[in-house]
Amino acid sequence: MNVDKNELLHIAKLSDLKIDEKEIDKYLSNLDNILEYVKILEKVPIADLDETIGANDNINVFRKDEVKTFENRDALLNNAPEIERDMFKIPKVL
Amino acid sequence: MNITELTVHELQEKIKNKELTSEQITKAYIDRINEKENDVAAFVTICNDSLEQSKKIDEELNKENNIADGSLKGIPIGIKDNICTKGIKTTCSSKMLENFISPYDATVIEKIKSEQMPILGKLNMDEFAMGSSTENSAIKITHNPWNLNKVPGGSSGGSAAAVAANMVPWALGSDTGGSIREPASFCGVVGLKLTYGLVSRYGLVAFASSLDQIGPITKDVEDSAILLNVIAGHDEKDTTSYDRPKIDYTKSLKNDVKGLKIGVPKEFFGEGISEDVKAKLKESIEVYKSLGAEVEECSLGAVEYALATYYIIACAEASSNLGRFDGIRYGYRAKEFSDLKELYVNSRTEGFGDEVKRRIILGTYVLSSGYYDAYYKKAQKVRTYVKKQFDENFKKYDVLLTPVAPTTAFDIGQKKENPLEMYLADVCTVSINIASVPAISIPCGVGKDGMPIGMQLIGDRFSEEKLLNAAYTFEQKIKFRENYKPGFNK
């Protein structure tokens, strides 16, 4: 096994996901299968290669720093599960 | 005349010659959707108001004595449900976004609206575009019009099935690892994955930002060129989109491949590719030779590593991109929670389906402390390795010819329980996204099971004209649409 239960639960916590006790084995086996499969990459001669960062050669793409008003404010707020006085409502944090 | 059988370039002519009105066309499609949706289940949302739009467009068209060549006014379209449409639900086929109504249009939708093309509806997909069969949709399971017991492919399965079933004249899909090409292959239609950066991704719900690209799914190659003319172009709102001179892609369709250099990478014809697929591809190679192309075997060994690289990079990016779904500003919110953290966790746990959660977990794992170098960083280096091999091949060849998928469409349910086996359906397509190059999937025949087989042509970056001409010339020769039609077999 490449990964154990404690590690899986740690990763789930980082992902803001809850894994049900009875699903743990399934997740472990799925994750293990794929981690086993990707070991194939150990064979690739990459020592001298750079990482590909970004999919194209654009660097430092700038545009003018201008404030633009989003006109469709109501449509935006209408998607929120809960609002109060035009603000997103969340549970108490303090 | 059966309106829904016509291609878009045929519809353009009929509108121009005043043989058909936009209302007649849209009405024909809505009737067809009503007739076939029970069997195919391609739509998440059907936009009946498209008919009203068509009537208004007709009023304008009636006033025009000479409708401009290439006008798309009044020709409707279907949209994959991960492309934001103002005022119409964009669900990504997820419980998480089941009721999400985008407050803005994606850039490609703005372009479609400026052409005055009515939107017929939003099309089903694997949840957040994660899958190869559209079975991961939380909304419904789409069926393949050629055989309703088979999957349409995925993730743009609704788009490909709807085009094949004549429920839309054409559609937009998105392709992260094969999500346009594999369903196009399974459904016997044309699917075009474009060079990364050719089309704006603004308003496409992000799965893996360095791989995602919107593209056409159409009945034939000419329609793909027409739709590409509409959607291509630089966008200030997508910093990865390229600023390039505008091209009329329909002008590239020359019906001539004499002297075209085609490489056939032998690694795409190895173990796991069905004999049926290999046989049809070999026939296709002979067709190209007979048309005067120079075909030669070549090597692209890196393809062996592409799938592993893809799943690391795509899942890593997905785990980050999908972090935004927290139940606060939009999307699903759990009913039960005791504090803010639990609101996040419960909303995400209940709102995402199994495959999405699986990929978020894998992505978080490969990015986590202690594993970043071993997985993510390594995959980024292998990505360079894959790109270099494509570059080498494009020094010698204009296009590369490969299968799209290892098999024809498989049965619904067949691979659902084995994620790794499902991932292998993408083995021929993912390297293209890794290398940011374009590729087209076109039907080249049917297998012994009567299901369509797709051929993939891959080009160098921004070589869409060459690619479209190569596909078009082949299509004109074999005339797939005239010879084969989906039978809606049960």
Question: What are B209-245's pLDDT values in tens digits?
Answer: 999 999 999 999 999 999 999 999 999 999 999 999 9
Residue B215 forms beta bridges with which residues?
A: B173
- Indicate whether A57 pLDDT > 80: no
- Tokens encoding A75: 């449509």
Identify the closest residue of chain B to A39 by CA–CA distance: B308
B474 reaches A (C-beta below 8 A):
no
- Structural domain boundaries of chain B? 3-263+394-483
pLDDT of residue A53: 83
Peptide bond connecting B155 to the previous residue in cis, omega within 30 degrees of 0? yes
pLDDT at A55: 73
Q: Does residue A54 register a pLDDT over 80? A: no
Instruction: Enumerate residues 6+ apart whose C-beta is below 8 A from B161.
Output: B40, B42, B134, B142, B143, B144, B145, B152, B167, B183, B187
Q: SS3 of A75, please? A: helix
Average pLDDT, chain B: 97
According to DSSP, residue B199 is labeled B
**How large a percentage of chain B has pLDDT more than 90?**
96
Q: Taking CA atoms, what residue in A is nearest to B238? A: A61
Nearest-neighbour CA in chain A from B385: distance (Å): 7
Contact present, B221 and B249 (Cβ < 8 Å): no
Mean residue pLDDT across chain A: 92
- Is residue B410 over pLDDT 90? yes
CA B273 to chain centre: 22
Cβ contacts of A58 on chain B, cutoff 8 Å: 197, 239-240, 242
pLDDT, one tens digit per residue, over A9-31 is: 999 999 999 999 999 999 999 99
Nearest Cα to Cα of residue B109 among B210, B239, B244, B200: B200
What average pLDDT does the segment A64-90 reach?
92
Question: Residue B88: its pLDDT value, please?
Answer: 98
Cα separation of A90 and B3, whole Å?
52
Q: What is the amino acid identity at position A15?
A: S
pLDDT beyond 80 at B419: yes
**B80 belongs to the catalytic site:** yes
CB distance B346 to B337 below 8 Å:
yes
- When pLDDT is cut at 50, 70 and 90, the band that residue B36 belongs to is very high
Residues 291 through 330 of chain B touching chain A, CB cutoff 8 Å? 302, 304-305, 308-309, 311-312, 319, 323, 326-330
**Range of lowest pLDDT (A35-49, A59-73, B169-183, B316-330):** A59-73
* Residue B292, pLDDT score: 98
Q: Among residues 366-425 of chain B, which lie with CB inside 8 Å of chain A?
A: 368, 375, 377-385, 387-388, 419-420, 423
H or E element, residue B28 = helix B22-40
| Residue A58 scores a pLDDT above 80 | no
Model pLDDT for residues B455-479, shown as the tens digit of each residue: 999 999 999 999 999 999 999 999 9
CA B450-B455-B460 angle, 5° bins = 165
Say how far apart CA B359 and CA B483 lie, in whole Å.
Answer: 40
Cα B451 vs. chain centroid, distance in angstroms? 19
What are the distances in angstroms from CA B359 to CA B138, B183, B333? Answer: 16, 21, 21
For residue B477, the SS3 value is helix
- Residue B355 near residue B134, CB atoms below 8 Å: no
Q: Which of B16, B36, B73, B80 is catalytic?
A: B80
Nearest by CB: B365 against A11, A37, A53: A11
Contacts of A61 in chain B (CB under 8 A): 239-240
pLDDT band at residue A59 under the 50/70/90 scheme: confident
Q: Which positions in chain B touch A76 (Cβ < 8 Å)?
A: 103
- Please tell me the distance from the alpha carbon of residue B383 to that of residue A52, in angstroms, as a whole number: 6
Judge contact between B458 and B117, C-beta under 8 A.
no
Q: Choose the mutation target among B329, B366, B417, B424 for the interface with A, i.e. most A CBs under 10 Å.
A: B329
Reported as a single tens digit per residue, the pLDDT across B247-298 is 999 999 999 999 999 999 999 998 889 999 999 999 999 999 999 999 999 9
Whether residue B210 and residue A55 make contact (CB cut-off 8 A), yes or no, is yes
Query: Shortest Cα distance from B362 to chain A (angstroms)?
Result: 7
Model confidence at A63, in pLDDT bands (50, 70, 90)? Answer: confident
Whole-angstrom distance, CA of residue B459 vs CA of residue B437: 6
User: What pLDDT was estimated at residue B290?
Assistant: 98
Amino acid at A89: K
Per-residue pLDDT averaged across B326-343, rounded? Answer: 96
| Residues of A (58-87) whose Cβ lies below 8 Å from B | 58, 61, 63, 70, 72, 75-76, 78-82
User: Pseudo-torsion of CA B418, B423, B428, B434, nearest 10°?
Assistant: -170
Residue of A nearest to B358 (CA): A27
Q: What is the pLDDT of residue B286?
A: 98
Supply the pLDDT for residue B418: 86
For the domain made up of B3-263+394-483, give the CATH fold.
Amidase signature (AS) enzymes (3.90.1300)
Q: Would you state the pLDDT for residue A61?
A: 85
The partner residue sitting opposite A58, judged by closest CB among B239, B330, B380, is B239
With a cut of 90, say whether residue B13 has pLDDT above it. Answer: yes
pLDDT at A2: 86
Q: Identify the closest residue of chain B to A41 by CA–CA distance.
A: B305
- Write out pLDDT tens, residues B82-112: 999 999 999 999 999 999 999 999 999 999 9
pLDDT bucket at B394, cuts 50 / 70 / 90: very high
> CB of B101 within 8 Å of any CB in chain A?
yes
For residue B90, is it left (φ>0), alpha (ψ between -120 and 50) or beta?
A: beta
**pLDDT higher than 90, residue B11:** yes
CB–CB of A17 and B357 under 8 A? yes
Q: Please report the pLDDT score of residue B151 as a whole number.
A: 98
The answer to whether B163 touches B68, Cβ cutoff 8 Å, is no
pLDDT digits (tens, 9 = 90+) for B116-169: 999 999 999 999 999 999 999 999 999 999 999 999 999 999 999 999 999 999
Q: What number is the average pLDDT over the span B54-72?
A: 95
Does A56 contact chain B (CB < 8 Å)? yes
Separation between Cα atoms, residue B194 and residue B230, nearest integer Å: 13
Q: Report chain A's terminal Cα–Cα distance, integer Å.
A: 42
Chain A from 23 to 52: CB within 8 A of any B CB: 27, 30-31, 33-35, 37-38, 40-41, 43-46, 49-52
